[in-house]
């Protein structure tokens, strides 16, 4: 079992606005990731213009390609950054320190 996840941090481009049709496209994109078993969690930040998507992917390159295919990114309304997250959980004895 892989304990690596990828965090896609989305940031609204200054001067750009999210429209309802674009948000609906983004939700369909997320639903597709969920159907594929890739989506761990997602949502907008309440204190920042943007949001986060946590996914399962086989590599950083694959995670970047997924991020690039998000309608928010394709429309150039949001930019993204991808971070690697190593899960700390009971199954991996909290990364060997539990």
Q: Residue 35 is part of a domain; what is its CATH number?
A: 3.30.70.1060
In this prediction, residue 98 carries a pLDDT of 85
Number of independent structural domains in the chain = 1
In this prediction, residue 48 carries a pLDDT of 87
> Distance between CA atoms of 81 and 21, rounded to whole angstroms?
23
pTM of the prediction?
Answer: 0.93
Residue percentage of the chain with pLDDT more than 90: 85
Range of the structural domain that residue 51 is part of: 4-96
List pLDDT tens digits, range 2-45.
899 999 999 999 999 999 999 999 999 999 999 999 999 999 99
Closest CA to 59 of 34, 84, 35: 84
List pLDDT tens digits, range 69-89.
999 999 999 999 999 999 988
């Amino acid at each position: 079992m892989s304990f690596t996840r990828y965090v896609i941090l989305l940031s609204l481009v200054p001067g750009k606005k999210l429209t309802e049709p674009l948000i609906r496209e983004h939700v369909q994109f997320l639903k597709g990731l969920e159907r594929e078993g890739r989506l761990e969690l997602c949502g907008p930040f309440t204190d920042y213009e943007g949001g986060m998507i946590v996914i399962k992917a086989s590599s950083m390159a694959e995670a970047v390609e997924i991020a690039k295919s998000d309608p928010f990114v394709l429309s150039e309304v949001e930019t993204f950054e991808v971070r690697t997250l190593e899960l700390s959980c009971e199954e991996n004895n909290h990364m060997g320190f539990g």
